[in-house]
Chain A
Amino acid sequence: MADQTTSDQGAAGNKKLEQDLEHITQEMYKRNKELADTNRTLSLLQSIDSLVLKSHDDLKILSTQISSVIATTNEYPLVAIVGPSSLVANTLETYGFSVGSEMNIDSKILAEIKPTIHHPWFTSPEQSVFISTLSLHAKDISLFLGCSEEAAERLKSTPIKTIYIAKLVARQQIVGIMAIGNTGALESFGASERLLLERLTEAVGIALDNKVLFVENQLVLQELKKANIRLKELDQTKDEFISIASHQLRTPLTTIKGYLSMVLEGDVGPVTADERKMIQQAFDGADRMVFLIADLLNVSRLQSGKFVIDNKPTDLAKMVESEVNVQNEVAVKRQLKVSLKKPDKLPLFNLDETKIRQVVMNFLDNAIYYTPAGGSIEVELALTDESINYTVTDTGLGVPKAVQSHLFSKFYRAENAKKMRPDGTGIGLFMAKKVIDAQGGSIIFKSEEGKGSTFGFSFARQKVEIKETTPSETAPGAVAPVLTK
């Protein structure tokens, strides 16, 4: 009796165990199915992302590709993406679609689908809607899809029983509509499938929007490229003009200078003090114009590729000293104190003498013009173990930090410099950098607004020093005589 009871209890226990096992197996199946669905969704979204990233095709081809991926992965017999028509306002047109071959759907039906944004659904907060082709009349379907009743009737005769229609939204704007047809009845769309459709709708909306943005960016880029070409053409025309004008101006200027010089020297009779003062000013003006034209010509040569560096042994010490002497007269008139500091002996350097002289003069000239009366300018040539450095340090107005990066650009002039010297061209520093860079040197520049600036250049001795030639003998003493008068 007891054995029988134990056996019954054992059988009941086994049955319970079996039931539990069955339940666990079924629950695991459900979880597995959810995982498989999620996996499929992720894989699909990844495919769409990948398509958008890789595709160089236009929006319509991309839409067809996306439709095809969705249709293939999820075995939807019909996927269509429509978007705003570029031709007819307030109308949508088919961007791309994919139809399963077994569906036998005439593509003319799809071509007819042109929903208008006047349909109440477009303005409703509802993001998506399911249309049952079984229960809806052709008339209702035609109103929704913007097609003829006849096309709606033909659609009803296909195996498609449900159409999911969703607004494709990106950046809070409707960028298109996606329609997915399925052979299952409305009830066959389970929770996981509805979730997948929601995710898909979001992804396709973003994909479409990204493509539109990309295309817009490309258009802007093309416009910028065109504008750039036009600007380059204009720049070339301007350079040609500068080149021609400079050459044409130089000849009459030489004549003017020549005759003014003759008058000053008394070739046409005695000159009164007042006359001399006025003619001298005219001569100085013409002289200054010659330098301006030389600058313009150099820019022109640089643009046309005729800018050639012609290196030869150069006595930098002698050159700097002579330029300081020439400019010192102007400095004195402007009540500035100029000093020159250079080593006793300096070797010759292999440099383009004419162009370097222009740079030496430019830095000194700038220091004189941009330093208020009472200030000082220190010119220094320094020979270190590695380099030869030329610097001009002034107590002038300095360059504001914000504009320092533009200072060596062509035609650039800082606002404070414009006020102090309205007739500058903005070419000097641009050319100086070109000249120094072209010879393998580097520009020295530091400045503090209101305190002063240091402009200069530096060359590696190894690159430019001529070792075999006799060094230039200069006057003894570490510091050259102060040239201020």
Chain B
Amino acid sequence: MIDVMAEVAEKIIREQQNVIGPLAVEQAKRVAGLTIDSQNHVSLVGDKSAAINHLVEQYKKIFGQTSVEVSKNAVNNLVSGLPPQQVPSILK
């Protein structure tokens, strides 16, 4: 079964990679509850929504609000199908 939240995280990281390159993966590896394998596949453990919030916060901390907008745009289509309560707060 597809883990939509893992898909959301993966897409955010991929979009950030388009902008800042491999640094995006390095920053994502610092987020608790998020692991990335050698093929850049993402898996989430624990509170998945919180992990995504931390991921976007991690980018925001270094690159500012623009990186949040980039993340939101990247997953617009994915989160539009989720119930509002499941959508990570930073992406709303």
Contacts and interface: CB of A to CB of B under 8 A. Distances in A.
Nearest to B69: A190
A463 interface: no
Contacts of B76: 182-184, 188
A102 B7 CA distance: 13
B46 interface: no
A124 B3 CA distance: 47
A183 B20 contact: no
B1 to A, nearest CB: 15
A29 B77 contact: no
Contacts of B73: 184, 188, 190, 193
Given A32-B19, A33-B19, A26 B80 contact: no
Nearest to A184: B76
**For chain B, which range describes its interface: under 10, 10 to 19, 20 to 34, or 35 or more residues?**
10 to 19
Nearest to B82: A159
A85 interface: no
A36 B18 contact: yes
Contacts of A354: none
A297 B69 CA distance: 86
Interface of A is mostly: helix
Nearest to A76: B77
Interface residues of A, number: 22
Interface stretch (B36-44, B48-56, B60-68): B60-68
Given A26-B66, A29-B63, A29-B64, A77 B18 contact: no
Interface string B18-42: 1110000000000000000000000
Contacts of A450: none
A29 B81 contact: no
B45 interface: no
Nearest to B74: A75
B80 A29 contact: no
B67 A29 contact: yes
Contacts of B78: 102
A100 interface: yes
A408 to B, nearest CB: 66
A421 B44 CA distance: 99
A14 interface: no
A100 B77 contact: yes
A25 B80 contact: no
Given A36-B18, A36-B19, A159 B66 contact: no
A102 B79 CA distance: 11
A30 interface: yes
Interface in A89-106: 100, 102-103
A77 B20 contact: no
A211 B30 CA distance: 51
B20 A32 contact: yes
Nearest to B64: A26
A183 B77 contact: yes
A161 B79 CA distance: 13
Nearest to A33: B19
B5 to A, nearest CB: 15
A30 B66 contact: yes
Contacts of B20: 29, 32
A183 B80 contact: yes
A25 B66 CA distance: 11
A102 B77 CA distance: 9
Contact of A33 (B66, B80, B81): B66
B16 to A, nearest CB: 9
A25 B62 CA distance: 7
A30 B65 CA distance: 10
Name which of B70, B78, B80 has the most chain A CB atoms within 10 A of its CB.
B80
A159 B81 CA distance: 7
Interface string A182-203: 1110001010010000000000
Interface of B: 18-20, 62-64, 66-67, 69-70, 72-73, 76-78, 80-81
Chain A to chain B: the 8 pairs with minimum beta-carbon distance, closest first: A26-B64, A29-B63, A183-B80, A159-B80, A184-B76, A36-B18, A32-B19, A183-B77
23 contacts: A22-B62, A25-B62, A25-B64, A26-B64, A29-B66, A32-B19, A32-B20, A33-B19, A33-B66, A33-B70, A40-B18, A100-B77, A102-B77, A102-B78, A103-B77, A159-B77, A159-B81, A161-B80, A183-B76, A184-B76, A188-B73, A190-B73, A193-B73
Given A22-B62, A29-B62, 10 more contacts: A25-B63, A26-B66, A29-B66, A30-B64, A75-B77, A159-B77, A161-B80, A184-B73, A188-B73, A190-B73
